[in-house]
Structure 1
Amino acid sequence: MNQTSPNRTSLQRRALRLEYATIGWNVGEAVLTIALGSVAGSLALIGFGTVSVVEVFASSVVVWHLKPGHDVDHRGRTRLALRLTAMAFLLLAVVLTIAAVSDLASGRQAGESPWGIAYLAVTALVMFGLAMLKRRTAIGLDSAPLKSEATLTFLDGMLSTATLVGLALNAYIGWWWADPAAAILVALAAFNEAKENWQEADELG
């Protein structure tokens, strides 16, 4: 359903604000979690910070697609945005898989990081909230790239939760394998999203 011009412009501005908020949060998140992970010797936190960089890339793609003065319905721009987002999903899947397999193979156990656990809990709430708002806005704009990036933000929230649970289980029960196992599940979901986004881009011609 096409929106009236004023409403569509308002939705476009809202989408951009959400993406700018995501970029700002993830830049800070990358710096903080990599620092906390380095101090605690936690590859889970360091890997999580690396994933934040992927999210910044995906959000930047959507900002480019929704940039004022450009036609968000242009098939060529939408196709390119979907393919770039698919690449972000694929990169996420690869990073998570390599980190998880490395942890499982080496039996490496992360050090305890209470601050990291607390931050991940906050991040999960923020990412789930942003994902919900992005998805609603994407439906209003009928924007496939924004909808796809909303899914990536949701997976970021899922990864936050998985990393949080993994670190907690490792700290209190000694289940060191819980975090890499959960990361593999998130990686599989990311790979599936990469495939679906690429196929959707192909359908646009």
Structure 2
Amino acid sequence: MSVQALQVKKGINIEIVSILWMIVEAVVAIRAGILAHSLALKAFGADSVIELVASAILLWRLYVESSGASLERVKQAEKKASWVVGVALLALAGYIVVSAGFDLWTRSSSEKSMLGLALAIASGMIMPYLSRVKKRIGTEIGSKALRADGSCSIVCAYMAWTLIAGLVLTALVGWWWLNALAGLALVYFVVKEGIEAIQEARGVEDACGCGH
């Protein structure tokens, strides 16, 4: 097996792991968010669904290459994957803005959620690892889409730690508006990564600015 084929195989394995974790994360976060009336938790769950879609499209893209498809076919799969990741991230940003605006307008507050806090802590440790592996493999096999998916994973980690801070401070000081602001604080990262993924799908060189 060639080095390229071996790295693609590793990419497939890490995407399968990512998909399994995203399923757990999405179900738990959305349920906990609904029970606690927490925008940050629901947005976290929505991000997990988007990450699940991104991982699924990347898994398909990697299977295309591992099946021995032509270079042109692999490039087409790569572009489609980047488009899906980018559009999904921008959709998430829109959801966060609308939901945060609604919560601020209605002065909605969240309740304590130990389940949500535990999930966020676990995700805050797991997602940076998945992000590093995806970006490393993406660089090794020349896949900007896989590197963008790695960026999705690190956005998920940012969301996890922002969520932890929001849940803890809301529980301690009772600031009703902190939940919405915690969600809005993530919009910059989400939009930035979404635009970069779309630029990569359009063929803009080094859209991520990472120098690869």
Output the TM-score relative to the length of structure 2. Answer: 0.87
Aligned positions of 1:23-102 closer than 5 A? 23-67=19-63, 68-69=66-67, 70-71=69-70, 74-102=74-102
Instruction: Could you tell me which runs of 5 or more consecutive residues in structure 1 were left unpaired when the two chains were aligned.
Output: none
Moved over 6 A (4+): none
Superposition RMSD in Å: 1.9
Deviations 1:42-68 (A, max 9, x none): 232222212211110011111111112
**2:174 corresponds to which residue?**
174
Work out whether residues 51 and 95 of structure 1, in 8 Å CA contact, stay in contact via their aligned partners in 2.
no
**2:140 corresponds to which residue?**
140
What SS class does the counterpart of residue 9 from structure 2 fall into? Answer: helix
What SS class does the counterpart of residue 185 from structure 2 fall into? Answer: helix
Deviations 1:124-157 (A, max 9, x none): 1111111111111111111100000000010001
Q: What amino acid does structure 2 have at the position aligned with 1:15?
A: G
Output the TM-score relative to the length of structure 1. Answer: 0.90
Work out whether residues 100 and 183 of structure 1, in 8 Å CA contact, stay in contact via their aligned partners in 2.
yes
Q: 1:21 to 1:71 in 2, by over 3 A?
A: farther
In structure 2, what is the Cα distance between the partners aligned to 1:155 and 1:38? 22
In structure 1, what is the Cα distance between the partners aligned to 2:136 and 2:159? 21
In structure 1, what is the Cα distance between the partners aligned to 2:165 and 2:8? 36
**2:209 corresponds to which residue?**
none
Percent identical pairs in the alignment equals 26
Q: 1:72 to 1:191 in 2, by over 3 A?
A: farther
Deviation at 1:166, TM superposition (A): 0.5
Q: 1:201 to 1:38 in 2, by over 3 A?
A: closer
What SS class does the counterpart of residue 176 from structure 1 fall into? Answer: coil
Equivalences, count? 201
Instruction: Could you tell me which runs of 5 or more consecutive residues in structure 2 were left unpaired when the two chains were aligned.
Output: 205-212
